[in-house]
Chains A and B, each alone.
Chain A
Amino acid sequence: MEVDEVYSREQLDEAEGKQIEALKARSQQPIPDPDEWLEEELKRNILLTSVDALLDWARRSSLWSVVCFPACCAFEFIATAASRFDISRFGMEIIRASPRQADLMITAGTLTWKMAPQVKRIYDQMAEPKWVIAMGACAISGGIFASSYSVVPGYNRIIPVDVYVPGCPPRPEALLYGIRTLQKKIAKRSLINQGR
């Protein structure tokens, strides 16, 4: 069957290559972590209304993740979602591929420069409020592959990360601890926003 493609394969590859090189050029410094929630001053001066407390409780008790499963940590995430370490008791069993319906991205795997524009695009498509958990050594700093020619040294080069979970791969219990830490952070969200 004759197909007149609008773009040829070579053109598509070239465009993708340009996109990757452009992203690489502007990601030379890590993005600073959003960690104002750890400041002690904020805790003392602000009271939460009951509506804010309710909203924060609702947000943190039903975090829906978006699919971002490059590499090995994905299998520990799947094991966490399976019946032994049941992530469903935290309200998180919904792992859909739709970024618009998600508010959490658990980055489970090594990020390469070739994949980076796609991950950034998924992150940009997620609706606010959104959070990122960097799972595993490769997500934090490039891990065992940090000195490689095609690996991004940590997701915080392209997206801001809220919680880092170390391990290679982290055990399901470690990931659940990371999720719990994120839930504590979300509990203070209105606190931080009012301070601005």
Chain B
Amino acid sequence: MTVPISGKEIARQIEKKFPQGIIESSPQALVVDGKSLLEIAAYLKNTRGLDFDYLAAITAVDYLDYFEVIYQLTSLKHNHSLVVKTRCYGRESPSLPSVVGLWRGADFQEREIYDLFGIIFEGHPNLRRIVLWDGFEGHPLRKDYLRW
């Protein structure tokens, strides 16, 4: 049975190493700051005992004040999972660092989030529209996108 690890427990383990990185932690998820996302993700992937080598999914949600990007991490070796979230603010060009260097599975998913939400992932090798055509105006999955 895949054990979902509590965000609070991970926060306790890493708060000394990344004091500013953690915004909040709950049993369901660990919310980190956009700037320390890459370091925390690398730590989660490479530390023995955590070994989160499999990125199950990346999603984004538009909560009008901010965009939240959710990472579902799994460890195949230890069979446990963790949810990491991060937020980015601003409607014009919100941006976050890209985790493609750590997990290549993020490639198409980040491009899709850029296409449908407009969140820019810094460090992504090929950030272009993927499911919509070049020249499409707007980002459809935002809550303020009007179709007609």
Query: SS class of chain A's interface: helix, strand, loop or mixed?
Result: helix
Q: What is the bound-complex CA distance between A17 and B147, given in angstroms?
A: 18
Q: What is the bound-complex CA distance between A185 and B136, given in angstroms?
A: 40
Residues of A within 8 A of B136 (CB): 17, 150
Contacts A147-B147, A149-B147 given; does A14 touch B134 at CB 8 Å: yes
Query: SS class of chain B's interface: helix, strand, loop or mixed?
Result: loop
- Cβ 8 A contact of B133, one of A9, A10, A16, A147: A16
In the complex, A33 has a CB within 8 A of chain B: no
In chain A, positions 10-31 with a C-beta closer than 8 Å to chain B are 10, 13-14, 16-18, 20-21
Residues of A within 8 A of B129 (CB): 13
Instruction: Report yes or no: A17 in contact with B140, Cβ–Cβ below 8 A.
Output: no
A113, closest chain B residue (CB):
B133
Instruction: Report yes or no: A10 in contact with B128, Cβ–Cβ below 8 A.
Output: yes
> Which size class do A's interface residues fall under?
10 to 19
Contacts A147-B147, A149-B147 given; does A18 touch B135 at CB 8 Å: yes
Contacts A10-B128, A13-B128 given; does A149 touch B140 at CB 8 Å: yes
In the complex, B56 has a CB within 8 A of chain A: no
In the complex, A188 has a CB within 8 A of chain B: no
B128, closest chain A residue (CB):
A13
In the complex, B132 has a CB within 8 A of chain A: yes
Residues of B within 8 A of A10 (CB): 128
Q: What is the bound-complex CA distance between A150 and B135, given in angstroms?
A: 13
In the complex, A59 has a CB within 8 A of chain B: no
Rounded to whole Å, the gap between the CB of A164 and the closest CB of chain B is 25
A18, closest chain B residue (CB):
B135
Residues of B within 8 A of A147 (CB): 147
A148, closest chain B residue (CB):
B147
Per-residue CB proximity of B125-148 to A under 8 Å, as 1/0?
000110011111000100001010
Instruction: Report yes or no: B135 in contact with A14, Cβ–Cβ below 8 A.
Output: yes
- Cβ 8 A contact of A114, one of B133, B140, B147: B133
Instruction: Report yes or no: B128 in contact with A17, Cβ–Cβ below 8 A.
Output: no
Per-residue CB proximity of A102-142 to B under 8 Å, as 1/0?
00000000000110000000000000000000000000000
Instruction: Report yes or no: B134 in contact with A150, Cβ–Cβ below 8 A.
Output: no
Residues of chain B touching chain A, judged by Cβ–Cβ distance below 8 Å, are 128-129, 132-136, 140, 145, 147
Residues of chain A touching chain B, judged by Cβ–Cβ distance below 8 Å, are 9-10, 13-14, 16-18, 20-21, 113-114, 147, 149-150
